[in-house]
């Protein structure tokens, strides 16, 4: 049997999708809600939330999934700003948004990598291993 802790050569697209949903629900939605009520808390969540959601995704995934949450995080930023440009083309300066989006995508990608790595480490340390069975003589 293959060891589940070894890195697979292929991306697990299922976990990219799951991570994308996790980022949308547990990162973007609270960020939008906090932006109107608690500016300092929303600023903290802007960075910490990426790491936390990446760690949760890395912890609950099967096998080693470090790139998947990072791809999903960068994809979420791309989808968010792409939607904003499509819905509000006249209110948004496209030239300024493109550079900001690229910088934000890279930042979210790197923070997600860090979070996923933390999640994989936690998975390795905290998930219980199968108990070793001993034979009675």
Range scoring the smallest mean pLDDT among 1-10, 98-107, 120-129: 1-10
Residue 42's pLDDT band, with cuts at 50, 70 and 90, is confident
Does residue 70 sit within a domain? yes
Query: Does residue 132 lie in a domain region?
Result: no
**What pTM did the predictor assign?**
0.79
Question: Which is more confidently placed, 24 or 135?
Answer: 24
| DSSP-derived secondary structure for 7-54 | PPSS--HHHHHHHHHHHIIIIIHHHHHHHHH-HHHHHHHHHHHHHHHH
Is 51 a member of any domain?
A: yes
pLDDT band, residue 40 (cuts 50/70/90): confident
In a domain, 131, yes or no: no
**Which structural domain range is residue 36 located in?**
13-125
Highest mean pLDDT out of 17-26, 77-86, 123-132: 17-26
User: In whole angstroms, how far apart are CA 2 and each of 7, 8, 44, 46, 102?
Assistant: 11, 10, 40, 38, 38
User: Number of folded domains in the chain?
Assistant: 1
């Amino acid at each position: 049997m293959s060891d589940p802790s070894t890195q697979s050569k292929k991306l697990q697209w299922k976990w990219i999708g799951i991570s994308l949903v996790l980022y949308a629900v547990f990162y973007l939605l609270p960020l939008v809600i906090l932006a109107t009520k608690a500016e300092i808390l929303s600023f903290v969540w802007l960075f910490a939330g990426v790491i936390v959601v990446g760690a949760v995704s890395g912890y609950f995934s099967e096998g080693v999934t470090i790139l998947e949450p990072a791809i999903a995080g960068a994809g979420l930023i791309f989808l968010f700003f792409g939607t904003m440009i499509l819905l509000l083309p006249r209110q948004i300066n496209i030239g300024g948004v493109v550079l900001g989006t690229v910088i934000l995508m890279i930042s979210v990608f790197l923070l997600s990598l860090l979070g996923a790595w933390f999640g994989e480490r936690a998975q390795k340390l905290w998930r219980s291993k199968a108990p070793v069975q001993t034979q009675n003589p």
